[in-house]
């Protein structure tokens, strides 16, 4: 059964809560204040913590802060118990990381329902994490091993090769495969950092920079990303309106790179990838459109890390991290990401709210 830690300085209330939970079959531990609760949580790693707010030595808010700052306890859900009903108190607890509130005095069924709801959510999250781990264990070894095969193989062949031109050809293949491997590893690291940032977005730890989006910036990004003239000729800038946005340049570059890469990969050879950027009444719209294979509705809904659209039909290699990276960046900057696909035309569209952007005349 799940293990629940009850942190409450009132002896009678603490005893009553423990008895109620134990009668439902839960394993229960208790602590008399936040300091003792934090120390016990690190030792027993409970599935859920029920904590009073007003306690001596370390109150409920301080307990949540310490729990969230420790890697061992940061993922434990916390339900706060309080007699306060002011909205700012509830908001303060939620901003620190509280998962739910119970207002004193509470009924037995309210306590049990809140506990069971939080435990169900924790179980669902763990199931999702298990699925991700399973997908990682299935796909990553193959994806990282594939570019290593020519690296190791050609390196071995070079030792016995005397023809200079043949050695140069092998070196080019080694460099290409090494670049593929480096790119895959960098995407994993980028996605990992974005997941951490989006999970902590409520703690005010993320401060976006400013960027002036215009024709010149996009040309600069594309020229650096696609130095070959043949690649650049397949990309067209159309209707680029200038606008200052709250987003770091590195994140905007990632958005452009991933969406254009995706467009080039799946578009017909004779059709360009078209980039647009313009304002409507509420948003600044950045879109990348391609004419090609298109996407089914179920593929659009299933965009996620390790779920690469088109895989069943086109056998494209990869892990599908690019669009997930874009989604995380969009989430981090309070924007909206939408994919529209019809008759082979696919449009990836990001709407940055103008009320979160900086006016051009600042």
What pLDDT score was predicted for residue 262? 85
Question: Do residues 71 and 12 both lie within one domain?
Answer: yes
pTM of the model: 0.52
Question: Do residues 16 and 96 both lie within one domain?
Answer: yes
Question: Do residues 55 and 173 both lie within one domain?
Answer: no
Question: Do residues 216 and 324 both lie within one domain?
Answer: yes
Q: Is 285 inside any structural domain?
A: yes
Q: What is the DSSP letter of 101?
A: E
CA angle at 332 for the pair 90 and 125, rounded to the nearest 5°:
65
Question: Do residues 191 and 223 both lie within one domain?
Answer: no
What pLDDT score was predicted for residue 359? 43
The domain that contains 276 carries what CATH number? 3.30.565.10
**How high is the mean pLDDT in each 10-residue block of the chain (362 residues)?**
92 93 93 93 91 90 88 85 73 77 87 90 73 60 66 71 76 78 77 72 57 93 87 89 90 92 80 92 91 71 52 45 85 87 87 66 38
Q: Is 176 inside any structural domain?
A: yes
Strand duo 48-52 + 78-82: pairing: parallel
Q: How far apart are alpha carbons 100 and 12 in whole angstroms?
A: 22
Output the CA–CA distances (angstroms, integers) from residue 296 to 68, 229, 278, in the order listed. 40, 32, 27
Q: Is 312 inside any structural domain?
A: yes
Place of tokens 């994140």: 251
What pLDDT score was predicted for residue 302? 56
Q: Is 125 inside any structural domain?
A: no
Question: Do residues 350 and 214 both lie within one domain?
Answer: yes
Question: Do residues 219 and 187 both lie within one domain?
Answer: no
Question: Do residues 51 and 139 both lie within one domain?
Answer: no
Question: Do residues 236 and 315 both lie within one domain?
Answer: yes
Strand duo 273-279 + 235-240: pairing: parallel
Write down the number of H helices and E strands in the chain.
12, 12
Which one of 69, 88, 106 terminates a domain?
A: 106
What pLDDT score was predicted for residue 311? 44
The two structure tokens encoding residue 51: 């904590």
What pLDDT score was predicted for residue 14? 93
119 prior amide bond cis, ω within 30: no
DSSP labels, 210-244: EEEESHHHHHHHHHHH--SHHHHTTEEEEEE--EE
Question: Do residues 190 and 216 both lie within one domain?
Answer: no
Output the CA–CA distances (angstroms, integers) from residue 203 to 176, 194, 280, in the order listed. 41, 15, 31
Q: What is the DSSP letter of 282?
A: S
Which one of 173, 198, 223 terminates a domain?
A: 198
The domain that contains 185 carries what CATH number? 1.10.287
The neighbour count for residue 2, using CB atoms within 10 Å, is 17
Q: Is 51 inside any structural domain?
A: yes
Question: Do residues 224 and 330 both lie within one domain?
Answer: yes
Please give the backbone phi and psi of residue 345, each rounded to the nearest 5 degrees, phi first: -100, 120
Domain count, the chain: 3
Q: Radius of gyration over alpha carbons of the chain, in Å?
A: 26
Q: Is 61 inside any structural domain?
A: yes
What is the distance of C-alpha 150 from the center of its chain? 32
What pLDDT score was predicted for residue 39? 93
Q: Write out the residue range of the structural domain in which residue 89 sits.
A: 3-106
Buried b (16+ CB within 10 A) or exposed e, 54-78: ebeebbbbbbbbbbbeeeebeebbb
Using an 8 Å Cβ cutoff, are 2 and 32 in contact? Answer: no
Q: Is 232 inside any structural domain?
A: yes
The domain that contains 102 carries what CATH number? 3.40.50.2300
Question: Do residues 13 and 84 both lie within one domain?
Answer: yes
DSSP labels, 164-216: HHHHHHHHHHHHHHHHHHHHHHHHHHHHHHHHHHHHTGGGT-----EEEESHH
Q: Is 116 inside any structural domain?
A: no
């Amino acid at each position: 059964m799940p293990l629940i830690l009850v942190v409450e300085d009132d002896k009678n209330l603490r005893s009553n809560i423990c008895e109620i939970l134990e009668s439902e079959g839960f394993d229960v531990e208790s602590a008399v204040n936040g300091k003792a609760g934090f120390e016990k949580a690190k030792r027993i790693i409970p599935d859920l913590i029920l904590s009073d707010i007003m306690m001596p030595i370390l109150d409920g808010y301080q307990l949540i802060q310490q729990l969230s700052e420790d890697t061992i306890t940061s993922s434990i859900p916390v339900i706060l118990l309080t007699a306060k009903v002011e909205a700012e108190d509830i908001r303060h607890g939620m901003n620190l990381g509280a998962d739910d509130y119970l207002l004193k005095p509470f009924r037995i069924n309210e306590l049990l329902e809140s506990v069971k709801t939080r435990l169900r959510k924790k179980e669902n999250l763990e199931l999702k994490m298990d699925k991700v781990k399973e997908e990682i264990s299935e796909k990553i070894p193959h994806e990282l091993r594939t570019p290593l095969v020519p690296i190791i193989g050609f390196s071995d062949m070079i030792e016995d090769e005397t023809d200079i031109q043949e050695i140069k050809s092998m070196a080019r293949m080694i460099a290409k495969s090494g670049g593929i491997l480096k790119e895959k590893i960098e995407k994993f690291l980028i996605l990992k950092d974005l997941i951490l940032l989006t999970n902590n977005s409520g703690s005010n730890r993320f401060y976006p920079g400013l960027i002036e989006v215009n024709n010149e910036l996009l040309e600069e990004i594309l020229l650096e990303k696609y130095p070959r003239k043949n690649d650049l000729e397949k990309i067209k800038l159309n209707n680029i309106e200038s606008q200052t946005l709250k987003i770091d340049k590195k994140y905007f570059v990632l958005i452009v790179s991933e969406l254009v890469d995706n467009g080039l990969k799946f578009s017909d050879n004779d059709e360009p990838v078209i980039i647009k950027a313009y304002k409507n009444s509420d948003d600044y719209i950045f879109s990348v459109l391609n004419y090609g294979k298109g996407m089914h509705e179920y593929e659009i809904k299933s965009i996620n890390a390790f779920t690469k659209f088109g895989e069943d039909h086109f056998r494209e290699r990869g892990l599908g991290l690019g669009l997930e990276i874009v989604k995380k960046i969009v989430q981090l900057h309070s924007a909206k990401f939408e994919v529209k696909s019809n008759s082979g035309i696919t449009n990836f569209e990001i709407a940055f709210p103008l009320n979160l952007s900086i006016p051009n005349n600042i």
